Amino acid sequence: MQGNAWLQCDVKPGMFDNEVAICVRTTDGLVLSFFMNADAVRTFPPNRKAIPVAVVDQNSDYGVVALPSRSFEGANIARVPSDALQFA
């Protein structure tokens, strides 16, 4: 399925009140991190944080997503576990 989805991730306080630090774990075990506006983060029960992403490709094991910002590690495209994606 292609389109927009919510990607579960770790969210930590950013440097400013309206900013959060995002950590996304890929299927390769890498962690991609970047800052984004706190208003873009959504909470799903039970207290799971997620960010909006564009799904480029997906199969039963993983999804290839375009992150909302380039990561500090350089990538803005990531292969993430399919069960980390929520289509809403």
**pLDDT per position as a tens digit, 15-46:** 999 999 999 999 999 999 999 999 999 999 88
What is the C-alpha R_g of the chain? 12
For residue 5, count other CB atoms closer than 10 A to its CB: 21
Residue pair 53/6 in contact by the 8 Å Cβ criterion:
yes
Instruction: Determine the Cα–Cα distance for residues 60 and 1; give it in Å rounded to an integer.
Output: 10
Confidence class for position 75, pLDDT limits 50, 70, 90:
confident
> Average pLDDT of the chain?
95
Per-residue pLDDT, 1: 61
pLDDT of residue 32: 97
Who wins on pLDDT, 10 or 45? 10
Q: What percent of the chain has pLDDT over 90?
A: 90
Please list, in sequence order, all residues whose beta carbon lies within 8 angstroms of the beta carbon of residue 47, skipping any fewer than 6 positions away. none
Domains of the chain: which residue ranges? 3-86
Confidence (pTM):
0.92
